[in-house]
Amino acid sequence: MDYFIQIVTDLLPGLDGLPVWLVIPSIMFMFGALIFTGISIYSLIILWFERKIAAHMQDRLGPMEVGGWHGWLQTVADAVKLLLKEDIIPAVADRKLFKLAPYIVFLAAFSVFAVLPFSDKIVGSELNIGIFYILAVSSIGVVGILMAGWASNNKWALFGSMRSVAQLVSYEIPIGLSILVVVMSVGSLSMRDIVMAQDGGIFNWMIWQNAPFNFIAFLILFIAGTAETNRVPFDIPEAESELVAGFHVEYSGMRFSIFFLAEYANMLAVGIIASTLFLGGWQGITGASSAPGIGLIWMLLKGFLIVLVMIWFRWTLPRLRVDQLMYVCWKVLVPISFINMVGAGIWIGLSS
């Protein structure tokens, strides 16, 4: 944030004359707008990628017409169509909660980006409790999902939101336990300290530390993160063959696209969190580079790689049933992550 404030004040020297209480919030607003624009552009690109990858995995071509080269403008056209669509609120829906719900889901998804370190300097806020803050604010989204499902006054929406909330609350536990393994080996909750502890090339990355334990923690975080974003094979809340579309079935136009944007933002957030915790964050394969912008490129590359693996999951694995979903969390992932955490603790205790 300090770096961003410095850039803005260098670009606009007239800002010095204005009072601080006006300048700082407006610079914060600009940073937020930058993140929002970035997420929107990323969503358009990754959506096109997803459709192309899906098509090629199924031996199709996917979008080929709009924009000329391999239909690259297709998702832009879709976004414009979504924005122009009529915003329908069902007659018997609870209007206040129905209107409020997308914003709460959106707020939770975007609050996470405030502490994600995109590079050495591009970071919203360097909180001491960075990773714990992420766990906390992402749980607000659950309330928004429940609100959307209830306010729609639709049984599929309610079932979808109930399933979604049960899933999100359950899978938070293995995520927390696997994050704890990293926190134990670094000794700090700050995202900056965690990245700094992985200094010096690919073999110092957190994923290779503490023998097998950190690698297992990475796998658990990745599986549970896929579940947290409601992606296949954990997309039972939106299972279109049984629930139409889950908690956002009654939403259309702009409000639907807010949910959609939040989902894709969550995917990127999971990618960036996983690569910050385990894959060296903004540092390259040979270590941190001093050139400006290199850190950002590495960070986005790693984040995109994880998002691409999630897309690959979607066309590889069949969807789990509701009972299997809970079985995987409570009887497989939670015990493994507890044992893993104890093992990592013993390993750290013995090696220090």
Partner 1 sequence: MESFVFYIFAFMVVAGGWVVIYSNNLIYSAFSLLFTFVGLAGLYGLLMADFIAATQILIYAGGVLILLLFGIMLTARKTSIEITQSNLPRLPGAIISSLIFLLLMVVIFSEPNWNSATNPGVKETVPVIGKLLMTKYLIPFELASILLLAALIGSVFIARREDS
Single residue of 6, 26, 37, 139 touching partner 1 by CB under 8 A: 139
Q: Which is nearer to partner 1, 139 or 324 (CB)?
A: 139
Q: Which stretch binds partner 1 (CB under 8 A): 7-15, 74-82, 132-140, 292-300?
A: 132-140
CB 247 within 8 A of CB 152: yes
Single residue of 15, 54, 57, 127 touching partner 1 by CB under 8 A: 127
135 binds partner 1 (CB under 8 A): yes
91 binds partner 1 (CB under 8 A): no
CB 300 within 8 A of CB 227: no
Phi, psi at residue 287, to the nearest 5°? 115, 175
Q: Which stretch binds partner 1 (CB under 8 A): 32-40, 141-149, 204-212, 270-278?
A: 141-149
268 binds partner 1 (CB under 8 A): no
Question: At its nearest, how many Å lie between partner 1 and the CB of residue 146?
Answer: 5
Single residue of 39, 114, 189, 224 touching partner 1 by CB under 8 A: 189
Q: Which is nearer to partner 1, 101 or 306 (CB)?
A: 101
Q: Which is nearer to partner 1, 168 or 306 (CB)?
A: 168
177 binds partner 1 (CB under 8 A): no
Question: At its nearest, how many Å lie between partner 1 and the CB of residue 172?
Answer: 8
69 binds partner 1 (CB under 8 A): no
Q: Could you give the CA distance from residue 221 to residue 225 in angstroms, rounded to a whole number?
A: 6
Single residue of 27, 105, 116, 142 touching partner 1 by CB under 8 A: 142
CB 222 within 8 A of CB 277: no
169 binds partner 1 (CB under 8 A): yes
171 binds partner 1 (CB under 8 A): no
297 binds partner 1 (CB under 8 A): no
Instruction: List the interface residues with partner 1, window 20-49 (CB under 8 A).
Output: 20-21, 24-25
C-alpha separations of 291 from 104, 134, 302 in Å: 38, 28, 18
* DSSP states along 256-289: HHHHHHHHHHHHHHHHHHHHHHHS-TT-BTTB--
147 binds partner 1 (CB under 8 A): yes
Sign of CA dihedral 287, 288, 293, 298: positive
Query: End-to-end alpha-carbon separation of the chain, Å?
Result: 35
Q: Which is nearer to partner 1, 270 or 310 (CB)?
A: 270
Q: Which is nearer to partner 1, 64 or 127 (CB)?
A: 127
Single residue of 172, 228, 238, 250 touching partner 1 by CB under 8 A: 172
Instruction: Provide the phi-psi class of 281: left if phi over 0, else alpha when psi is between -120 and 50, else beta.
Output: left
Question: At its nearest, how many Å lie between partner 1 and the CB of residue 66?
Answer: 41
Q: Could you give the CA distance from residue 127 to residue 124 in angstroms, rounded to a whole number?
A: 9
Q: Could you give the CA distance from residue 5 to residue 125 in angstroms, rounded to a whole number?
A: 12
Burial class (CB in 10 A: 0-12, 13-18, 19+), 231: buried
Angle made by CA atoms 240, 243, 249, in degrees to the nearest 5: 85
* DSSP states along 294-311: HHHHHHHHHHHHHHHHHH
Residues that bind partner 1 (CB under 8 A): 20-21, 24-25, 94, 97, 104, 127-129, 132-133, 135-137, 139-140, 142-143, 146-147, 150, 158, 162, 165, 169, 172, 189
